[in-house]
Amino acid sequence: MSQSAYLPEKPSRVSEIKVRGLRTRLRTWGADGAPLLLFLHGHRDSAATFQFMIDRMRGDWRIVAPDWRGHGGSEWAPQGYWYHDYLADLDAIVDHVSPDAPVSLVGHSLGGNVGSVFSGLRPHRVRRLVSLDGFGLRNKPAEDAPAHLRGWLDAWKKPLRERPYATREDLADRLMASNPRLPRDKALYLAQDMGREVEGGFAWTFDPRHRIPFATLHRVDEWAACWRQIEARTLWIVAGDRDKRTPREEEHSLAWRVSQIRDARSVVVPDTGHNIHHDAPQAAAEIIERFLAE
């Protein structure tokens, strides 16, 4: 490689468990007896995405981060993926890592969305909730259902294609193109974990079936009904460029969504995009640890 990959300051260890029939990889940082945090990564990502922020955390924590089904080092689901699968997987993972006590959840994007709905479904199992730029998706009205479901059916008829990249450096270049704030050494580190060898080069570790949209519509009123059941103190961490990416919320603004949770607030991290934990790992770590210490 033309430049060295990022060298983690806090190494992790890897283990595997079975979650609802699928082999699931867990990445763990810290001592077994330390206070537990469960980190949940985003769509087409992996648990290694949290390394930069974890290196900046000052407390003694036991941090466990699964690779979701079909991501990272976890097994693929041949029948595809439904949003509700992640909820059931998280239910099983929480029971595995903390059978007797509530956990604190920190989720990014998909992980934050799954964590927030789960926190309303299992309020007694969650102590604190932190969501990094995960606030539910834009609302889809019922009238969208026919076109949405036709698209889902059509997607299953198309052959799965993966465009191989010649080198892991090319994977890193792709990550940097998606996030210009990502330094090259960190992009190279992520490419090591998120790339797998295939014929002709390298492909992403996530199952290409993740490119097929979920069959279910995203109804914000249904999600909000779950959020209103959350008992844990909640923090939504907002990317600084959120207004650029979503200049107009539809009928449910960010403020409205935050208001649906009994004990919640939000904080904006300036000069960050969707991957706040990459763009400002120090600031994100400080905000999370301050919140957890309250």
Mean pLDDT throughout 112-122? Answer: 97
8 Ramachandran zone, left/alpha/beta (phi>0; psi -120 to 50)? beta
Q: How many CB atoms sit inside 10 A of residue 107's CB?
A: 26
pLDDT tens-digit series, residues 23-72: 999 999 999 999 999 999 999 999 999 999 999 999 999 999 999 999 99
pLDDT of residue 2: 60
- Check pLDDT > 90 for residue 137: no
| pLDDT value for 249 | 54
Provide the domain limits for residue 286: 13-142+219-293
Tally of domains within the chain: 1
Q: Do the domain assignments include residue 177? A: no
- What per-residue confidence (pLDDT) applies to 253? 84
- Mean predicted confidence (pLDDT) in 245-264: 78
Residue 180 within any structural domain of the chain: no
DSSP codes joined into one string, 192-243? HHHEEEETTEEEESS-GGGGSPPSS---HHHHHHHHTT--SEEEEEEETTHH
pLDDT at 246 over 70: no
Give me the CATH number covering residue 259: 3.40.50.1820
Distance of CA 51 to the CA centre of its chain: 13
Task: Please give the pLDDT value at position 173.
Answer: 97
Contact assessment for residue 214 and residue 203, using Cβ atoms and an 8 Å cutoff: no
The H helix count followed by the E strand count for the chain is 11, 10
Residues 96-108 have pLDDT tens digits of 999 999 999 999 9
Residue 258 lies in a domain: yes
Q: Which two tokens stand for residue 253?
A: 């603004």
Distance between first and last Cα of the chain: 44
In angstroms, the CA 214 to CA 172 distance is 27
113 in any annotated domain = yes
Q: What pLDDT shows up at residue 218?
A: 85
Query: Is 178 inside any structural domain?
Result: no
**Tens of pLDDT, residues 191-210:** 999 999 999 999 999 999 99
Alpha helix ranges (H) inside 25-179: 51-56, 83-97, 110-121, 145-157, 168-178
* Position 52 in a domain: yes
Is residue 267 over pLDDT 90?
Answer: yes
The predicted pLDDT at position 250 comes to 56
| Amino acid identity for residue 74 in this structure | S
Widest CA span of the chain, in angstroms?
Answer: 52
